[in-house]
Amino acid sequence: MPRLNRVIGGLAEGRHVFASFAAADPSIAVEFGTTDYDALVFETEHKPWDAVALRDSLQYLLNRRQIFGADSLAAPITPLVRVPTNGGEKAQWHAKQALDLGAYGIVWPHVTSVDEAYNAVAACRYPRLPEAPRYEPAGLRGDSPAAAARYWGVSTKEYYARSDVWPLDPDGEILVAIMIESRRGVANLPDILDQVPGIGLVIPGEGDLSQELGVPRQYDHPRVAESKRRILEVCTERGVAVGHPHVTVDNVKQVLDDGYRFLMTAPVRSYPGLELGRTLTRSTS
């Protein structure tokens, strides 16, 4: 059965996945709809949480012509949502609403402990009986699948069957990503990954890490680099993919050499016609 979540499909096959991030805004979603990204993370941690705008953005991200010409229902660009709340706040309702609208995964900022990571996975799963396979982390997600099933293009029954968390469920289509953004998170990461199945992606939060380490936004500073190296080491030992949140044309080769698998680039607009026109008019004036 073809994957619906292209991020999971890429990570499961050992490929690199390319993503960007943007506010939940329909006009932005339209622009991304024809790009070559594998995923778009709708950013609601530092942008407003607006469920209506998120719902509309999910719809406008879809390019139905591309889906019509493809061999599966999978959206060309997989939508994920970074929720507003830190891991310790355990605000399951943000994840619930994003998933109920059709998102294929949740990015949880500021996860620092086993308990917070457990909540992150549990909030993305429906409850099941204790004797069921892959029971833990026990699901906490409330039941309202209609909009998500419609967005995925499947029946409610099929949505239930496919909406578990990967890789806890090998056939699951929901990705749980956690961000490690503090020294405590780095120190606890081995226990997090050893004790909480279902985390499909770990992303170092370079900005907040650098703040805590006293070198704001100095992503290449030795203190920040050591924390990132440790995250890569811990995840690689356990077969968990690691994302890089600040990929640029200048560092992309190093990022690939270091072993990052989920590469996020800024949503930069370019204006080549304007720039060339300005250059030519300056040279002739």
Q: Is 148 exposed, middle or buried (0-12, 13-18, 19+ CB in 10 A)?
A: buried
Q: Which pLDDT belongs to residue 216?
A: 94
Q: Which pLDDT belongs to residue 285?
A: 56
Residue 10 near residue 80 (C-beta atoms within 8 A): no
Work out whether the CA dihedral 24, 28, 32, 37 comes out positive or negative.
negative
Extents of the domains making up the chain: 6-284
Output the six-digit token pair for 114: 């086993």
Selection from 118, 78, 71, 80 nearest residue 99 by Cα? 80
Under CATH, domain 6-284 is a member of which superfamily? Phosphoenolpyruvate-binding domains (3.20.20.60)
Instruction: Compute the CA torsion angle 162, 165, 169, 171 (nearest 10 deg).
Output: 40
**Amino acid (one-letter) located at 275:** E
Output the six-digit token pair for 234: 């811990």
Per-residue pLDDT of the chain (285 residues; tens, 9 = 90+): 789 999 999 999 999 999 999 999 999 999 999 899 999 999 999 999 999 999 999 999 998 777 777 777 888 899 999 999 999 999 899 999 999 999 999 999 999 999 999 999 999 999 999 998 899 999 999 999 999 999 999 999 999 999 999 999 999 999 999 999 999 999 999 999 999 999 999 999 999 999 999 999 999 999 999 999 999 999 999 999 999 999 999 999 999 999 999 999 998 878 888 888 878 888 665
Which conformational region is residue 271 in: left (phi greater than 0), alpha (psi within -120 to 50 degrees), or beta? beta
Selection from 146, 145, 155 nearest residue 73 by Cα? 155
Q: How far is the C-alpha of 186 from the C-alpha of 208, rounded, in Å?
A: 12
Q: Find residue 18's DSSP bridge partners.
A: 263
Selection from 145, 140, 80 nearest residue 106 by Cα? 80
Q: Which pLDDT belongs to residue 284?
A: 62
The three-class DSSP label of residue 21 is: strand
Query: Is the preceding omega at residue 167 within 30 degrees of 0, hence cis?
Result: yes
Q: How far is the C-alpha of 80 from the C-alpha of 107, rounded, in Å?
A: 7
